[in-house]
Structure 1
């Protein structure tokens, strides 16, 4: 019944451009039926993963409609809170299943996917239509500062462990959990300060894209779809994470590859398509804002939320990322900084970003972490 309500509430206002993605909603009942019929786990895993793609789009559409009806300040806060709702739900479900390796990898993978895959496709495809894509270098510098700060915060615990020579995993967790909690608290404070900067004191610096359009749905309808979509995302995430072990065994994927590459793509597909669409419309500033805002939110909001939430299930999540994850993250941020710092980009730089992402994906597929 919940699926029927979602479809009936949504499909009428969808335009032709948005319809193909939302046809994937058929995988919601398909995944549930396959699960109830006890078919091989790989099929349930794949269909539940495909179901998450349109559900993430529904969450995004509902959040944007609700935000548009509440004014710029409340709307900005709603977008800042629910902008990565799918990733938050998947992360919480994975924490409940004690998949700490997958959680850490997916947090890093979401940032890498944003700054390499999404920015790369945006610059590549937008660059084919426009000789040169331009955006505000001042705004780019603000994003760069925030992302650099987040990377430094994520690097610190790993550097501490190496310098303190804590060889035992239990000792690492005991030493790093208080540190992780304090760092997470600081990140949340800085994230709030960044929102105040973007929504109040320096709102004029940030692109608004098409926010002047009327909301697609009423506030009541958007609230219902937001709630219903979140429930279904939680259900599909339970199927996806619950069958992760047998599915990875069949696919010959390691957990690091699944977290860094597979899960972020499924959870971010709808948002990725929006950023690329904006670039095709020669609105690279909006694409960059989507990429940067999502990356900053993952590092400075979703990661702290995951750390604090892990205590609920007594599965403490420290921010002790592996060396390979941190190297990949640092590389991604550095090359992204180099490309966006001058306020312009073109298709070749997009291809280079995609090349780096492909190299990282291949490496983690064969080597893992």
Structure 2
């Protein structure tokens, strides 16, 4: 019954979003309908990924969920880049990072902790994730400081952005080799890999098909949503920073929200952490650098220089997430702390 209602809502919202876009409805109505459609489509994406994860294993499944869960943010960002809305792209990347580290991880730890007094996951994996999070901050912080203090020319700025982007992508690829191939055995989480006797939602072939279908649907709805952003933000007096960092990020993170929280409530906190922190690492070390390269292909290179408030938000999020996850165990109160930091940042961004 629940599945039928979900799929009915998914189809209805997708169709309404398409009609609203092509019939040129009021921009505010289009924005609301498209945002709801993205949430449904992202939920569909999360369910398909979770089903694929049953066949691929939870470690690889967490990576797949983070990857396809980030599809919404990546596709939205590409359309924004085509329109040269670079500030909103950077704001959405900032929002995706802090949203995963604070909101997604916080909700997972809180709701999982209310059901289980204490949840544990692989401490070595937590240590490596913490180190990578710090590297991602360094990769974003250094260019901003050097360009601002040394007053780089546009050519130097562009070269530094492309160079750092390439280095971060290589670092991320090598991390995948390290964690999934050469040191896979020591980073395995037995609880994370346990299926607790659960059956996948669909067969292997249908799961892969639905995963591809959901990704295509995300691409369409993302484009429709992007076309409404300018008019929506102007009508309600919202800054590009707030729209990008919180509105787009929350909508785009719907897949991670649903999948990570569900897994945490099944006592699979390792998989939930893998989705939340893994998704943030992927945004910082792969998606953001890839967008730099993609923008260069469009002929207008976006630099990797984030604003001080964006860097502050990312740095604060990494610090608290590292503090909470580094011991390899969680409880509900730690989840509350993460969510509180997210609320504080949300209020600050809203007032900008």
Please indicate, yes or no, whether the TM-score normalized by the shorter chain is above 0.5.
yes
Looking at structure 2, the residues matched to 273 and 76 of structure 1 have their Cα atoms a distance apart, in angstroms, of 13
The aligned counterpart of 1:262 is 247
Looking at structure 2, the residues matched to 104 and 336 of structure 1 have their Cα atoms a distance apart, in angstroms, of 21
The aligned counterpart of 2:79 is 93
Looking at structure 2, the residues matched to 283 and 115 of structure 1 have their Cα atoms a distance apart, in angstroms, of 17
Measured against aligned partners, the alpha-carbon deviations of 1:127-175 in whole angstroms (never above 9, x if no partner) come to 2222223223222101101111111111111011122035xxxx3x432
- Normalised to the residue count of structure 1, the TM-score between the two structures is 0.86
The aligned counterpart of 2:155 is 174
Are 1:228 and 2:213 an aligned pair? yes
The aligned counterpart of 1:187 is 168
Cα offset, 1:313, TM superposition? 2.1
The aligned counterpart of 1:121 is 107
Contact residue 69 and residue 218 of structure 1 kept, 8 A: no
Call closer, same or farther: CA 1:276–1:310 in 2, change over 3 Å: same
Cα offset, 1:244, TM superposition? 0.8
The aligned counterpart of 1:197 is 178
Contact residue 97 and residue 241 of structure 1 kept, 8 A: no
The aligned counterpart of 1:131 is 117
Other structure's SS at 1:315 match = coil
Q: Pick from 20, 35, 50 the counterpart of residue 34 of structure 1.
A: 20
Contact residue 39 and residue 255 of structure 2 kept, 8 A: yes
Looking at structure 2, the residues matched to 72 and 364 of structure 1 have their Cα atoms a distance apart, in angstroms, of 35
The aligned counterpart of 1:47 is 33
Call closer, same or farther: CA 1:22–1:127 in 2, change over 3 Å: farther
Call closer, same or farther: CA 1:47–1:72 in 2, change over 3 Å: closer
Cα offset, 1:68, TM superposition? 5.5
| Structure 1: gaps of 5 or more residues | 1-14
Looking at structure 2, the residues matched to 197 and 161 of structure 1 have their Cα atoms a distance apart, in angstroms, of 32
| Structure 2: gaps of 5 or more residues | none
Q: Number of paired residues?
A: 348
Call closer, same or farther: CA 1:34–1:302 in 2, change over 3 Å: same
Looking at structure 2, the residues matched to 354 and 97 of structure 1 have their Cα atoms a distance apart, in angstroms, of 33
Are 1:206 and 2:165 an aligned pair? no
Measured against aligned partners, the alpha-carbon deviations of 1:213-268 in whole angstroms (never above 9, x if no partner) come to 66544454344434433332222111111111111112322110011111111111
